[in-house]
Structure 1
């Protein structure tokens, strides 16, 4: 089964169970040691309230027995739904799989490593029920090392600039969404690596909610190389046609410099009766750079069109659903 682009009920038919008030989507990759505790704490946080809920666990190609634990949880609780990918496709395609199967009016997303505290879920849900489209988790007393938090600040600044949304923590995956705010963007979720930024770029209203952030057990999956790739993804995904902008800038600056130096060279030649060969050589180089810049911008336009046409492959392939 390939990734879909519309909300659907997966294997749970409307006649089987009534739609819950809240859907909690949890993305997992090799979290066999934490998933049972996560389940218990999430149920404890939501059970005392009046809201009905479902838990959708998306196993993003785990190899450590995570799916076996999920099978046991599903067998003991019909509110637990499970999606297993054939291989690791990434966190945001996994979010798409959860969103497309969620039936609740409010959808909560969180990671499965217990850095997100399930006890904060009711506060996120209440923020959406108060009238906001998105309750954006804001990690207080963040415990990540400097090598992770500093690049995160840079990426957050880029996303604020490109989306025009002034929130402080785009990278926090612990959020709650109104279903109606997600639906228009579902076709693009998974293709972009910042789901929250994508939803907010469509004009959704947002409020920030402080959430706890526990230290991660084990090494972070976000290496410096991966963080650099994320920064480049932000440029490509949220800065319209970056190659075009860079090409236009290069072409414009080089052309203006070539024009200015050329005029200066002509004046110098006439006034001093001395042909400034090196200066005109520099003008020629700048002129060629200007032409190359505009050609780069044109290539960027073609690449953008090709990218939109070829991104028809599935986001993920589902192995099993429970």
Structure 2
């Protein structure tokens, strides 16, 4: 942290020993929770820069492939370098970083400001200079104390339970979002956690994992965090041949009457558009129709045809991703209740960098009852609101099957199945939850939703509603209870 903070704590301890280390050990439960939060979002092996790194313990705990810590306290930096010789530490003014330092020559995957914003004299200046260490894929992660805790933290300082600190910037989540916007960033996620910052056997676990995530009570938590990225280029518009390629995955079960329409209505996108049908154990002649259309369009449009090995839409989507060759991958339901003509909106949102994950939203435009009954609409809104709260993002329609993302991001999400298992039979929620955990920028893409013209829905309302509740419970456990 900064020099002023360290000087204030020097008088509380003998010359031997590190004051900052002492306070970190005294409040170990709090610092362990910060570490747990960051390890949830940041997998090992990243290039990480920490601004206000202190002892370097947090940076080391994240197991970066290349880690750099910068602080203004010479004594702390020396101790950090001795304790963690495999990391790189620099003594610099946080408001005037040395951009010529070779150690900072390459951009980073993540930049951390953990409890640093509160003690900067010019937050916007620091955020602006960090832009040169970012790519569009870099994630800026910031944490600070909830302003509601100011009286309690001041009391803890008086009782010598907390390190004495200079006057702080008590920032709300809205303040942080505004500062990020002014400095050229946009917010991906925001959240709060940790209601009881001291370890009390059983009680701390109950309070922080069960009670703290509850709506209303969550607003009282101590730690606030924000994940952000650079604002995208608003002028993105290269010629098609210089744009990414695209694969459209179309899971199809008992959709023989829609196959030809899928191909006929699907626009060309980017430098190349591949169509990939995954047929799922149909009882009609869907597979034969796919083969007929594929043969008819041979040499005209690239069409792959796969027969599903497992069961369920989720399995079909995963099989499609495994075979996809495009840079941007889009999922389109074969029933065409979302029109193929809307897919360029998804492609451009991802390819331009406006988002990393484009999520279809059917709840903007008017809906006919035969397309989506009123009860279904309210159920969709309920599950969307619940998951938005749990994930710390805004998603208006979590049940729309039309989604788009970079293929490389999909494979990072797919790795989570080793940790999470195949909890999602729909093929939508492991993508959505995985995108949130991988800190992808998620945006809703409004689409018009039409009644089916062929076949019937495969949805079973009671069974699938119970499954959705189970998925929400799974998300709550991993995102709010971790």
Same fold (TM over 0.5): yes
Residues 61-70 or 136-145, more deviating: 136-145
> For the residues of structure 2 that align with 1:178 and 1:141, how far apart are their CA atoms?
30
Partner of 1:113, secondary structure, is coil
* Residues 390 and 476 in structure 2, CA contact (< 8 A), matched pair in contact too: yes
User: Deviations along 1:221-276, whole A, 9 cap, x unmatched?
Assistant: 3233133223233234312179xx8xxxxxxxxxxxxxxxxxxxxxxxxxxxxxxx
Matches within 5 A, 1:8-47: 21-42=245-266, 45-46=267-268
- 1:50 deviates by 5.4
Partner of 2:337, secondary structure, is coil
- 1:128 deviates by 0.8
> For the residues of structure 2 that align with 1:50 and 1:150, how far apart are their CA atoms?
36
* Residues 330 and 403 in structure 2, CA contact (< 8 A), matched pair in contact too: yes
> For the residues of structure 1 that align with 2:398 and 2:449, how far apart are their CA atoms?
15
> For the residues of structure 1 that align with 2:278 and 2:422, how far apart are their CA atoms?
13
1:66 paired with 2:286, answer yes
Question: TM-score normalized by structure 1?
Answer: 0.63
Partner of 1:215, secondary structure, is coil
* Aligned twin of 1:239: 476
**C-alpha distance 57-85 of structure 1, shift in aligned 2 (>3 A):** same
**C-alpha distance 150-219 of structure 1, shift in aligned 2 (>3 A):** farther
Partner of 1:104, secondary structure, is coil
> For the residues of structure 1 that align with 2:323 and 2:463, how far apart are their CA atoms?
29
* Aligned twin of 2:351: 129
> For the residues of structure 1 that align with 2:246 and 2:463, how far apart are their CA atoms?
32
1:220 paired with 2:440, answer no
CA RMSD of aligned residues (A): 2.3
> For the residues of structure 1 that align with 2:430 and 2:451, how far apart are their CA atoms?
23
**C-alpha distance 166-183 of structure 1, shift in aligned 2 (>3 A):** same
- Off by >4 Å, runs of 4+ in structure 1: none
* Residues 181 and 199 in structure 1, CA contact (< 8 A), matched pair in contact too: no
> For the residues of structure 1 that align with 2:405 and 2:456, how far apart are their CA atoms?
29
* Residues 27 and 91 in structure 1, CA contact (< 8 A), matched pair in contact too: yes
> For the residues of structure 2 that align with 1:40 and 1:220, how far apart are their CA atoms?
22
> For the residues of structure 2 that align with 1:224 and 1:168, how far apart are their CA atoms?
20
- 1:111 deviates by 0.4
Point out the structure with the larger helix share: 1
Matches within 5 A, 1:39-188: 39-42=263-266, 45-46=267-268, 51-78=271-298, 79-86=302-309, 89-131=311-353, 132-139=355-362, 140-142=365-367, 143-187=371-415, 188=417
Unpaired segments of 5 or more residues in structure 2?
Answer: 1-243
- 1:196 deviates by 3.7
**C-alpha distance 178-26 of structure 1, shift in aligned 2 (>3 A):** same
Unpaired segments of 5 or more residues in structure 1?
Answer: 1-19, 246-322
* Residues 413 and 435 in structure 2, CA contact (< 8 A), matched pair in contact too: no
User: Deviations along 1:97-139, whole A, 9 cap, x unmatched?
Assistant: 1111111110011100010111111111111111121122111
- 1:172 deviates by 1.0
- 1:190 deviates by 5.5
Partner of 1:240, secondary structure, is helix
